[in-house]
A and B are shown apart, each in its own frame.
Chain A
Amino acid sequence: MGKKFYTPDGFTDILPDDCAYKRTLEGSLRNLFAMNGYQEIETPGVEYCDVYSATGFVKEEDLYKFTDQKGRLLCARYDGTVPAARFAAGIFRDEPLPIRLSYIENMYRFNQMGGGKQSGFTQAGIELLGARGAASDAEVIALAIKSALEIGITDLQVSIGQTEFFDGLARQFNLSDEDKEDIKEAVSCKDSVMIEKKASGLNSEDRQTITMLTECSGTYDTIEQFEGRVTDAKALNALRNIRNILDILDKYGYTRYITVDLGLFGSVDYYTGVIFKCYTYEVGFPIMSGGRYDSMSKVFGRDLEAVGFSMSLTLAITAMMRQGKKLEKSGAGTIVGGKTDLAIATAEKLRAQGFPAILDTTGMNEDELNRYAALKGIETVLYMREGDAE
């Protein structure tokens, strides 16, 4: 028996219909990003491993690694943010600020073995570098919401948190670094048992404040709930930041998509300010996430405050298919066969008028051509004979 060839674990081919659909969505997003002044870049897809390890947040074992001819360690592009930060700090170092970048590219990650998660997937995202403040945060969140709406995801929930809030709270409660990490972990799992255990050294009011982090479900009311309990300047600043962001998002009419969740933490540690995740029905993972990461580009030699988001197009498409929102198949056009010179002329004429036309190059007779067209779902068959007009 001959050897059989498959795609590697975690990777799949995209079939023509799905590919056409994906390209349509990519086109809409590309256009949306450009309309908002985000310039698309293409990074090489292969980076030095050092680029990722310098940022200190990617687990080494999650990178697809290989070497160059000199034996230096390379890896496949893991995300869009790190290469964009490298780009902005390096090749774009003399560019006036702020810098607006976008990308739509494939990412490669080792995921949990047998987890069924894709190791290769497409992300679309933007990065706003060299800009601080709530107005910039809000622009990125607004653009994330617009992106989802643009491609047809209307059942949308966006949770907004602020990493500095918990940092401030930890300082106010005099938590040791270890306790802080443990409680953060417990809050991020909404694990009330663990919170009770790890926060046992706190007084009951402070413990209640921690528990409240797991129950955030409002917008301004959630901020107000915490305002009365917080004294640390950093935490209060974080609340003010979210309030300002909400004010701006309200001008877009996006408040209804928003929930303030102060117990939301990033799955990666590079976020330094606002952080957000977007959810929809029918997929168990957030389809978009983003936030502020002010300390990343420093490691690439330029200190840039930055905020951005990325959408997993792969997940977004899955969600839409399951929500029954798949784009109508477009008609596959016309196939032209028969007498070669007439067929070529006819096909070219159709194409020039903007109609897709397939030219039969295999010399099928009329019956064969009809049969093939029926199987392929091609709407019109033209079989050219001597004397037919083009």
Chain B
Amino acid sequence: MITIALSKGRLAEQAIDLLEKAGYDVNAAREKSRKLILEDPKSGLRFILAKPADVPTYVEYGAADIGVVGKDTLLEEGRQLYEVIDLGFGRCRMCVAGPKELEGKLDMIPNKRVGTKYPNITRAYFEGVKNESVEIIKLNGSVELAPLIGLSEVIVDIVESGRTLYENGLEVLETVADISARVVVNRVSMRMKSDEIKPMIDRLREQVAIMNAEGREDK
């Protein structure tokens, strides 16, 4: 039995579609219910639906063998996992954003306050990459509010189309990292259940290659 942890929401649906294309029986996972564990003894797959930020934890501890989760969550959680496939969907960027006036002047503000849902990524970026200390203000949503009402100078957040930023008079100032959905595997499962997991990785990789090829043709 392989346990797969999915990030509740759109990412879970896309992951289930992909598994189906790769030839797995995912009927259990499609069941419309409020159940958090969806199991199909026939196909040997068990799905658990978790909050995205918890997926790396489930996988690191081996409660799930495999997980599908955004790179943003992986960076923020910093867990010991194998990160085997870039699924290519759920694409976006982790950015530093702020008012347009700050464009090109970000480095000139000392002791910046940064509002974010991702304190670890923010710290790693400002301290590790930019070599400066910042004051991090942890927020849980609508991060764009912070610079608008003076809680912080800038924010670090996920940017997909940039529309939310734009409508609130903010701009991307710097890119921290490119984000997309990843398949992660527990380090023990990779070895103890390699007979099931390795073929699954191969089949998923094949599907991703096909999808990417189709994507290029579409363009």
Q: Which residues does A use to contact B, with CB under 8 Å?
A: 115-116, 155, 157, 159, 189-194, 217, 259, 267, 279-286
Contacts and interface: CB of A to CB of B under 8 A. Distances in A.
A157 B62 contact: no
A229 to B, nearest CB: 22
Given A116-B61, A285-B62, A157 B191 contact: yes
- Which 5 A-B residue pairs are closest in the complex by CB-CB distance? A284-B62, A190-B82, A193-B86, A191-B83, A284-B61
Interface-central residue, B188, B190, B194, by most chain A CB under 10 Å: B188
Contact of A281 (B60, B86, B192, B194): B192
B207 interface: no
Interface residues of B, number: 23
Contacts of A157: 191-192
B84 interface: yes
B14 interface: no
B82 A155 contact: no
Contacts of B112: none
Nearest to B184: A189
A283 B62 contact: yes
A280 B194 contact: no
Nearest to A283: B62
A285 B191 CA distance: 11
Contact of A284 (B63, B84, B86): B63
Contacts of A281: 192
Interface in B61-89: 61-63, 80-86
A307 B8 CA distance: 45
B72 to A, nearest CB: 15
Contacts of B63: 284
A217 B194 CA distance: 9
B203 interface: no
Contacts of A284: 59-63, 186-189
Contact of B81 (A115, A189, A192, A259): A189
A192 B87 CA distance: 12
A267 B81 CA distance: 12
A259 B59 CA distance: 22
A347 to B, nearest CB: 47
Contact of A279 (B57, B60, B82, B192): B192
B61 to A, nearest CB: 4
Nearest to B60: A284
Contacts of B186: 284
A190 B80 CA distance: 11
A189 B82 contact: yes
A190 B188 contact: no
Nearest to A282: B62
B192 A286 contact: no
Given A189-B83, A191-B83, A283 B188 contact: yes
A159 B194 CA distance: 13
B84 A267 contact: no
Contacts of B190: 190
A147 B154 CA distance: 55
A280 B192 contact: yes
- Of A192, A194, A286, the most chain B CB neighbours within 10 A belong to A192
Nearest to A192: B84
Interface in B193-218: 194, 198
B80 A267 contact: yes
B81 to A, nearest CB: 7
Given A279-B188, A284-B188, 15 more contacts: A159-B191, A189-B82, A190-B83, A190-B190, A191-B82, A191-B83, A193-B83, A193-B86, A259-B191, A279-B192, A280-B192, A283-B188, A284-B59, A285-B187, A286-B188
A116 B62 CA distance: 13
A283 B191 CA distance: 12
B77 to A, nearest CB: 9
Nearest to B80: A267
Contacts of B198: 217
Contacts of A279: 187-188, 191-192
Nearest to B85: A192
A112 to B, nearest CB: 8
A155 B192 contact: yes
Nearest to B198: A217
Contacts of A159: 191
Contact of A191 (B60, B62, B80, B84): B84
B202 to A, nearest CB: 10
26 contacts: A115-B57, A155-B192, A157-B191, A189-B81, A189-B83, A190-B83, A190-B185, A191-B83, A192-B86, A193-B83, A217-B194, A217-B198, A259-B191, A279-B187, A279-B191, A279-B192, A283-B62, A283-B188, A284-B60, A284-B62, A284-B186, A284-B187, A284-B188, A285-B62, A285-B187, A286-B187
B85 to A, nearest CB: 7
A283 B186 CA distance: 10
A157 B195 CA distance: 13
A115 B86 CA distance: 26
Nearest to A191: B83
B205 to A, nearest CB: 8
A387 to B, nearest CB: 62
Contacts of B194: 217
A263 B82 CA distance: 12
Contacts of B61: 116, 284-285
Nearest to A322: B62
A284 B59 CA distance: 8
A373 to B, nearest CB: 40
